[in-house]
Structure 1
């Protein structure tokens, strides 16, 4: 559906204004889909993101600082999110043996199992494959990278 139909307005200053509205609307649309999928496993999208980062580090632990750096949604509440994941048994934490001021966070088997259950749904293949081709995804990725100031240097980037 066109952005004009989604927001029931066709009043844009120019194509750049329309593109900005479209990117924000689409981002929120994707976030809503992902949040609804995560909540079925009793976690938030931010908690999913931390679990995903921890799985990438596994079997090594991560610090809250590393988690904050890698989060898609830059939130200052990493400690609170980790504490909630600990209470759900999805991660464990302990004082770092290297730096006593730091806390090591490690994903548990339950956390790994939760991610395995969520993986396919969170990739949104059901939405993407029905609406956009692989070649269009590549173009979209290049355009979004360019929007954020990174210029692609090759056709297959």
Structure 2
């Protein structure tokens, strides 16, 4: 379906405006799909992002600032996200013995197990965007990278 049909708007001020609105609309569409796939695991997309970051450094711990710098949504409250994940038993937070201001964060075995289950469903999630070819996905990635450059 076209953007015009989805948002019931026939005209745009420019192709650039339409492109910007299309990116925002599509982002919301993808977010909605992602929320649905993560709901059974009682985690948000932002919490999922933190878990994936921690898995990438596993078994090494990470500091909060390092996690924040790698997050997809830079406006997320990483402190709050880590605390919610800690309460669910998915991450550990340990105050560094050498520097009490430093908190070392790591993913737990339970957190790794949750990610493994979600990974098993990744194909279904990616099927949502399989309407574009690999070459089109590469071109889309190139264009989006260029836009942010």
- Tell me the residue number matched to 2:144: 144
Displacement over 4 Å in runs of 4+: none
Structure 1 residue runs without a partner (length 5+): 150-157
Contact 1:91 1:106 in 2 (8 A): yes
Q: State which drifts further: 32-41 or 139-148.
A: 32-41
**What is the TM-score of this pair, normalised by structure 1?**
0.89
| 2:120 pairs with 1:125 | no
Contact 1:34 1:122 in 2 (8 A): no
The separation in 1 between residues aligned to 2:126 and 2:24, in whole angstroms, is 21
1:94-129, Cα deviation, whole Å (9 max, x unpaired): 012443211001100110010111125456321122
1:62-107, Cα deviation, whole Å (9 max, x unpaired): 1111111111011352111111101100011101244321100110
The separation in 1 between residues aligned to 2:136 and 2:32, in whole angstroms, is 22
- Tell me the residue number matched to 1:85: 85
Aligned length in residues: 148
**What is the TM-score of this pair, normalised by structure 2?**
0.94
